[in-house]
Amino acid sequence: MRKKIVAGNWKMNKTFEAGLQLVDEIIKELDAQPASEVLKIIAPPYIHLAAIAEKVILLNEFGVASQNCHHLANGAYTGEVSTEMIVSTGAKYVIVGHSERRLYFAENSELLSQKVDIALKNNLTPIFCIGENLAERNADKHLETVLKQLSDATFHLSASDFGRLIIAYEPVWAIGTGVTATTEQAQSMHKYIRSEINKKYGAEVSSSISILYGGSCNAQNAKELFACEDVDGGLIGGAALKAPDFVTIINSFPA
């Protein structure tokens, strides 16, 4: 059975103290809820990684992710953070290929491939993001775009290594816009992604890999999205910054 996952990407938000307070609020909200088998991942800015990992390390089904990593092991790269450094904080996941990194920092598939490789080498689980922009969707090139992003950066992996990934589909036109893909659009794309993974790696890998939806998923629409057969959870942006909303999303999976 595929893992149900809700990952909260804080992006460039929250001071150190405010971030720790938010985690405390999330934990408190969850304590008041029935036990859940959902994997809950928090992806804060670098400054929070070690402190949050320490808070959640003993909590069931909790993990911490870095929002990015460098593609090399070490060196004279001022301002960058290596996968080895990330692992040393207690984090076990790393977001790779987020659309904002692709857009604002010109990250291409060659670079992202290297990031995936070095993350896996250091036992970090990549949350690998793919998704089309509005022009590509309107030009009916969304399937082509998503497959190219996925295949160019990850299809060099062995089946066992690919199976360690978490995939996040994030239609760029729906990120931070308040616009969400319809359940039909989300399910159709997730099913397509899984079918292409099946062609490359077979049914065992494709049926076991979690594919998250990452486009303006919130407390109001998560239940409908998570009811889709091939949607295994969400990569959450703005709603992850509010403890009640984040916990509502965590509890939005069908019984």
User: Which residues are designated catalytic?
Assistant: 98, 170
Which residues 6+ apart lie within 8 Å of 150 measured at CB? 128, 130, 167, 193, 196, 197
Which structure tokens are listed for 59? 């909590």
CA proximity to 117, closest of 63, 75, 155, 77: 155
Residues 210, 5 contacting (CB under 8 angstroms) = yes
Which residues 6+ apart lie within 8 Å of 241 measured at CB? 8, 10, 13, 14, 22
Q: Is 244 helix (H, G, I), strand (E, B) or coil?
A: helix
CA proximity to 243, closest of 83, 24, 16: 24
